[in-house]
Amino acid sequence: NGSVDGSKEYLLNQDDCDVYESRGDFKSANSGIYWKNVIIERNKDATWVLSVDIDELAVYDGWPELTIDDFASHCSDASLSAVTALMLDMYSFDPLLEGKNPQDSTDLINDFPYFDGTGYRKFTHHHWRRNKFPRQIIEGGPSKRLSSGKNANWLAKTPFLLKQNIYFLDPHTVVPIDFNFSKPLIALLHFRFTGELSEKIKKVQNQGYSDGSVKIYKMFGSHLENARSFSLKYEFSERFTMPKQLVDKGLLA
């Protein structure tokens, strides 16, 4: 969708990738969901579908030794049709304005190794049908911590599809909606707090982000304006080593 970060060129140089591109409007395409569902429909015979953004890394219990194909087989053997995920914001202890750009990193986990070790809450809206919010809610991480709970930060996502006739409703949920309520088995390590954050804050309002996301990025922009040394480091920051530690914390099933 017109990315200029080098990802398109990288993918075109791989010998095992089909690359689809759209120059259409991201917002009017329901945050790109219309395009994504067309690609799923064109590849109906796929054994599984994993949808991740360029700044996300999918990990799960047994990763990286357990391949994604073997993980999918385990999930299918457990009669799962789709797998939900926890989005886990990753960061370094450097001031945000001095963070490394992703293009300059050879190991994102090494350069942005920390996450909030506590402060997460999982629940479901009692009247989720009335609220048109067909998913579980997981809150937490730096956005929730720094906004004093004023800004919603939805960390639940359903990115892994194991059967046919499952499609995306929005960037975080699928239909049939039953599949959005299972316990997360995947963590999407989210590398958005990099040296590109200040540029992203400037652009975010014009790129089809949800109102909640715009508020969150504005909040971080305010922190950066008030203190150039602003960092996400706090007393419960924890270094990521392996997905098993997320299982032990109860963040992943």
Q: Rounded CA gap, 193 and 205, in Å? A: 17
161 close to 168: Cβ distance less than 8 angstroms: no
Residue 111 pLDDT: 95
Backbone angles phi, psi at 94, to 5 degrees: -70, 155
Q: Rounded CA gap, 163 and 46, in Å? A: 9
Q: Would you say residue 140 has pLDDT above 70?
A: yes
162-212 tens-digit pLDDT? 999 999 998 899 999 889 988 999 999 999 998 888 777 777 755 656 666
| Residue scoring higher pLDDT (13 or 230) | 13
214-228 tens-digit pLDDT? 777 788 878 777 777
Nearest Cα residue to 61 out of 49, 78, 76, 75: 75
Q: Rounded CA gap, 112 and 194, in Å? A: 8
Amino acid at 168: F
168 close to 37: Cβ distance less than 8 angstroms: yes
Q: In what order do the strands lie in the sheet containing 186-190?
A: 49-50, 156-161, 82-89, 186-190, 56-60
Percent of the chain topping pLDDT 70: 91
The whole-number average pLDDT for the span 97-121 is 91
Q: Would you say residue 130 has pLDDT above 70?
A: no
Q: Rounded CA gap, 136 and 247, in Å? A: 18
Q: Would you say residue 124 has pLDDT above 90?
A: no
Weakest mean pLDDT among 88-102, 118-132, 156-170: 118-132
Lookup: tokens for 104: 């300059």
Highest mean pLDDT pick, 4-13, 46-55, 148-157: 46-55
CA 20 to chain centre: 21
E-strand ranges in the chain read 49-50, 56-60, 82-89, 114-116, 121-123, 137-139, 156-161, 167-170, 173-175, 186-190, 237-239
Residue 128 pLDDT: 66
| Residue scoring higher pLDDT (240 or 96) | 240
Q: Would you say residue 88 has pLDDT above 80?
A: yes
216 close to 192: Cβ distance less than 8 angstroms: no
